[in-house]
Structure 1
């Protein structure tokens, strides 16, 4: 896998085609991101960075999220990739415990020691590849065309859901929304808060995704 590009280079490239005002905002954001790269949490989510940025006179969370804030997002992505992570908000200690406990519950439900060992190995492999995928996402600007994938699904439910309703459902199960609420989605589709309390029952997220 190619090494991530130095964020300082990205900064200069972005500033070379930006207005004086945007250049100032980019450099302020750059300093904040550099400081964040030295923290233990390595939290490069737009919510966190936007809050820190606004406190120091830089672009706000909403400004970064806007379509016109693409250059800010690119700079955040560059620093996240350089730090070996992504813009996705890191799981809290409690959320990690919930995921680990769920894996442990699966293993404990298997009586056969051989099968248990195999499943344990598969879980470990899954976790490894998931981490690698997150790093790959941080190092690639991927545009996914979902037109052919989503249009038939919307048509199939057109009698019940309007486009606005479909978009609302999509937003309700989006990773960014879950991160902002500090909720964790379990493999069963169940949603729990950071204290392990059930927010939505099992099957909720999976069912919504099938609808949209």
Structure 2
């Protein structure tokens, strides 16, 4: 069905909306003549403001079904440049909130969030790692004392390995002279991590 046929059909179906349907049709027709394929409800309502076109919310409401149907008829019009659809922003859902007060509150909350994220980026340099220790108990309980640190360092030292005739094997192991594993795989790696993080 062409837009003209659809207009005639809708005007017959809803005689009270004849003037507003004509206004919507005129704005859509202008878009075709300009060769612009932007037939979004918001654009049609904005271009038709003061010319009898209902507001965008009225078009989107249940009672705006006829307007939506008519506008959609123009979307495949020949000779118009296809509009590259804009990627919906993450907060596009806010525009769909019908209650103006809720929409305003959501917008305020989103702007506060954006400001907080901007401040975080200023305070925390890129690539900086923040580690949060949420273990129960005091931090000192999990920290190595100087004596404990020296003991682990000694286990990994050349002096210790030489004194006990040990050598470093593959995969973080320590083996004796016969090649028998004394420290299991990963032991040296684990000890290195402990020293690095304490």
Is TM > 0.5 for Structure 1 vs Structure 2? Answer: no
TM range (shorter): 0.3 to 0.5
Comparing both chains, which one has the higher relative contact order based on Cα–Cα distances under 8 Å and sequence gaps of 6 or more? 1
TM-score between the two structures when normalised by the length of structure 2:
0.40
TM-score between the two structures when normalised by the length of structure 1:
0.38
- Over alpha carbons, which structure has the higher Rg? 2
- If each structure's helix is expressed as a fraction of its own residues, which one has the higher value? 1
